Amino acid sequence: MSAPDVRITDPHDASGGGWKLVKTYVELTKPRIIELLLITTVPAMIVAAAGWPGLWLVVATLLGGTLSAGGANTINSVVDRDIDRIMRRTRRRPLPTARVETQPALLFGIALGVAGFGWLWLTTNLLAAVLSTLGLIFYVVVYSLWLKRSSPQNIVIGGAAGAVPVLVGWAAVTGTLALPAWVLFAIVFFWTPPHFWALSLRYRDDYAAAGVPMLPVVAGTERTIEHIVTYTYVMVGVSLLLYPTGAVGLLYLAAATALGAWMIARARRLRRFPGEVMRFFAYSNAYLAALFVAMAVDVLVT
C-alpha cells in the first residue's frame, strides 16, 4: 500500500487565499507614501478652519485622499512594472514578482481613483473631489508616463502631485482655495525634490540600469547635492511665507525658523559627507511632519 498523500498548508502562503491577496493589493497602493501625504492634510484642514474642523470631516477627507492616492500609486506601479523588475529597491513589489496580474492591478487602481472622487464629492464638496482626481491624473500622466523617463527634472515638476493633498484638505473645509493654501502647496512642492534626490543618490546605479534619467544619473553626485542645498534654502524661505498670510502665529514662525536652520545645516553637510544622503532623506521626512504639526499646534493653542 502506498503512503497517503499528505499536504501541509501554510495559512500565510498565497495558496491560502484571502488575506495574502488583500495584503498584496494593499502593497500596490504604497501605504508608506500615503501616510506622508496624509500627515500634511490634517494640519492644512486645521489652518483652513482656524481650529479643529470636526472629526467626521477629517476622517472623510483622509479616507477620500487615501483612495485617490492609493489609486495613483497603483496605476504608477502598473506603468513602472518593467523598470521595477530591474531596480533592487522595487523588484520585490507585487507586479515584478507576479503576485498580481497587470490588468487586475490597473482596474483596481482606476476603481480606487473613482471611489476617491465619489466619496469626497459625497462627503465634502466637488472642489475637493476634483482636486484629488487632478492630482491622480497629474501623477500618472505627467510624472509616470511622460517626465520620469524623459527628463532629469521629472521629480521637480511631477512632484507637484504630492503637494495636492494640502489643497484637498483646505478645499474640504472651505470649499475654496485661499493664499495660505497655495503657500502650503509650495512648501510641499519645494520639499519634494531635495527629499527624493537624496533617495535617488542612494539608488543611482539602479536608476542608471533602468534607464531613468534621475538627476544623479545625468548630473552626478556633486551637482545633485548642490541642487539639494538650493532647493532646501527655497523650501525654508517658502515655509516662512505662511506667517505673513495671517493664517498662523509666532509659534509657527519660531518653529519654522528653527526647523529650517536645521535642515539647511543638514543639506550643507552633504557637501562634506555625501554618504549621509539617507540620513538627509530621513531628516526631510521628520522636517515636513514637524513643520505641519507646528502649524496645527499654533492654530489650536493660540
For residue 140, is it within any domain? yes
For residue 280, is it within any domain? yes
Each residue of 47-102: pLDDT tens digit?
999 999 999 999 999 999 999 999 999 999 999 999 999 999 899 999 999 999 99
Q: How confident is the model at residue 145 (pLDDT cuts 50, 70, 90)?
A: very high
Nearest residue to 200 (alpha-carbon basis) of 258, 280, 110: 280
289: domain range? 27-301
For residue 17, is it within any domain? no
Q: What cell numbers appear for 97 in the block?
A: 514578482
For residue 14, is it within any domain? no
204 C-beta neighbours (distance < 10 Å), count: 18
Distance CA 268, CA 203 (A): 21
For residue 31, is it within any domain? yes
pLDDT of residue 12: 42
For residue 237, is it within any domain? yes
Each residue of 210-255: pLDDT tens digit?
999 999 999 999 999 999 999 999 999 999 999 999 999 999 999 9
State how far the alpha carbon of 85 is from the alpha carbons of 33, 96, 105, 166, 302, in Å.
20, 5, 16, 32, 51
Averaged pLDDT score across all residues of the chain = 92
63: domain CATH number is 1.10.600
Structural domain total, the chain: 1
For residue 208, is it within any domain? yes
For residue 18, is it within any domain? no
Annotate 78-114 with b (16+ C-beta within 10 A) or e (fewer). bbbbebbeebeebeebbbbeebbeeeebeebbeebbe
Percent of the chain with pLDDT over 70: 94
The model's pTM is 0.91
pLDDT of residue 17: 65
For every residue of 57-83, which 3-state class applies, written as one string? HHHHHHHHHHHHHHHHHHHHHHHCHHH
Yes or no: say if 152 and 145 are a contact pair by the CB < 8 Å rule.
Answer: no
